[in-house]
Amino acid sequence: MDIINILVVEDEKNIVDVISAYLKKEGYGVYEAFDGEQALDIFNSKEIHLIILDLMIPKKSGEEVCTRIRNSSDVPIIMLTAKVDEDSRIEGLTIGADDYVIKPFSPRELVSRVKALLRRSYRTDNKPLAEKIIFDNGRLVIDKDKMTVEKEQKNIEFTTNEFKILTVFIDNPGMVLSREQLIEAAFGYDYKGFDRTVDTHIKNIRQKIEDNPKSPTYIVTVYGIGYKFNC
């Protein structure tokens, strides 16, 4: 795959311009559509590897576009919407969306969601699409294949369990994860450790990657719920 092409479907040009600028900065090819019919025309005529799809678009709704694409393709789709209720999110996922981003959103978080979804969706010779994952303008570099972490070009030693937890965070950027979710995703259902073991691992990870572990910027605590990874 020489270049990864992303189709951005959104009727507000200023939002399209911002998303496109961030994606192009990461080296992606970008196609833009401002209504549902244009989106389907581009999808049917170009090689598209991922779609960022707003629900509230003219001519054909985002739901209809998603449904029609799903009838013939499993291309990854991230839905954008101003709808915050749970039923709307469930409906979007039910008709085939792979991820869901609520407006207003951080363009950096959206790009991280794009990267995570591409890694999950495309593999060549059993290797992820992007072997190295780069954050913070290159200050933090993670190689999932080699299980290595670099901070400011210096290699940082991680235990296997610490790296498993870090991988869960980078695969779910911006999402709030409870201790139970982290344990299940990192170690599986049969893990015998206690929930608070996760806190110890995260404390150790922060010591290794944060500029100030007492005021973290990467892995932040969401009080009463769990943690999330800011990218």
Q: What is the predicted pLDDT for the residue at 125?
A: 45
Residues 118 and 160 in one domain: no
Same structural domain for residues 182 and 115?
no
**CATH code of 83's domain:** 3.40.50.2300
143 and 111 in one domain?
no
Choosing from 96, 124, 152, the residue where a domain stops is 124
Q: Are 208 and 156 in contact (CB under 8 A)?
A: yes
Residue whose C-alpha is closest to residue 42's, from 14, 16, 15: 16
pLDDT at 212: 95
**Do 27 and 113 belong to one domain?**
yes
Q: Are residues 60 and 147 in the same domain?
A: no
Report d(CA 59, CA 11) in Å as an integer.
11
Where in 89-128 does DSSP place strands (E)? 99-102, 123-124, 127-128
Does residue 136 share a domain with residue 109? no
Q: Mean pLDDT of residues grouped by 10 in the chain (231 residues)?
A: 86 95 91 96 94 93 91 90 63 74 88 86 54 80 86 90 89 86 77 69 94 94 91 73
Return the closest-CA partner of residue 4 out of 22, 30, 32: 30
Specify the CATH number for the domain of residue 203: 1.10.10.10
Q: Are residues 150 and 115 in the same domain?
A: no
Residue ending a domain, among 105, 124, 143, is 124
Of 72, 101, 124, the domain-final residue: 124
Same domain, 120 and 145: no
Do 119 and 136 fall into the same domain? no
Based on the fold, state whether residues 44 and 70 are members of the same structural domain: yes
Domain coverage including residue 161? 131-229
- 72's CB contacts (< 8 A; 6+ apart) are none
171 and 101 fall within a common domain: no
The answer to whether residues 106 and 190 belong to one domain is no
Q: How many domains does the chain have?
A: 2
